[in-house]
Amino acid sequence: MSRRACVLAAGSLLLAAGCGAPSTKTEPTRTVSDSARGVRYVVPEGWKSFDGEIRSPDGSLLTLRVYDLVEADKTFVAGLPDTLVPQFLEWAELYYIVDGQPTRTPATIAGLPATEFVYPVRARKKDPPSKLIYWVVIRKTRLFVLRAAFPASGLASDEPVVRKVVEGWAFIETADESDK
């Protein structure tokens, strides 16, 4: 075999090795302390975390939105969490077919009273059913809305994991709160 053929063969092998199956490296379990949002939570092994959301390998997603209630409409605040229901439906209908009425259940997040709303959804009419879950909790002058969305294929495995994350949720002082 000529020298040129050997170099080409070796280069081809290196290229094939470099383009092989992705590594099975998994993300370790870790704790996220988000002082801007005032929360601490544990990201499960294998899940990815970025900017207030965590995503499972199967595509389930848990997001957090935090709203300041100091200058919010007093009627809106007094009606919480019910005043959010129209917004939840609108958000759900952006991505899913809502397949029935939501259920509402009292919950507790980090020792505070919360409300859980579960919407039965489908990505497409022919798809199996799934869920969209919202948790609503107020701490001091902030409204926390957690949203869990599951692909039908990840619902059975990821819902218990998401619930465990929410059960382990903790509130921490934000920079604004510690200055007072």
Q: What is the span of the domain harbouring residue 68?
A: 23-178
Does 98 fall in a domain? yes
Report how far residue 116's alpha carbon sits from residue 103's, in angstroms, rounded to the nearest whole number.
8
Instruction: Give the phi and the psi of residue 87 in degrees, each rounded to 5.
Output: -65, -40
Burial class (CB in 10 A: 0-12, 13-18, 19+), 66: middle
Per-residue pLDDT tens, the chain, 180 aa: give them.
565 554 444 444 444 444 444 545 678 999 999 999 999 999 999 999 999 999 999 999 999 999 999 999 999 999 999 999 999 999 999 999 999 999 999 999 999 999 999 999 999 999 999 999 999 999 999 999 999 999 999 999 999 999 999 999 999 988 666 545
Does 67 fall in a domain? yes
Structural domains of the chain, count: 1
As given in the structure block, the two tokens for residue 114 are 């919360």
Report how far residue 32's alpha carbon sits from residue 127's, in angstroms, rounded to the nearest whole number.
34
Does 85 fall in a domain? yes
Does 49 fall in a domain? yes
Report how far residue 178's alpha carbon sits from residue 74's, in angstroms, rounded to the nearest whole number.
25
Give pLDDT, residue 4.
57
Q: DSSP assignment, residue 81? A: T
The b-or-e profile of 91-115 (16+ CB within 10 A means b, else e) is: bbeeebeeeeebeeeebebbeeebb
Does 17 fall in a domain? no
Helix (H) or strand (E) holding 130: strand 130-139
Give pLDDT, residue 26.
75
Does 7 fall in a domain? no
Does 95 fall in a domain? yes
Give pLDDT, residue 1.
56
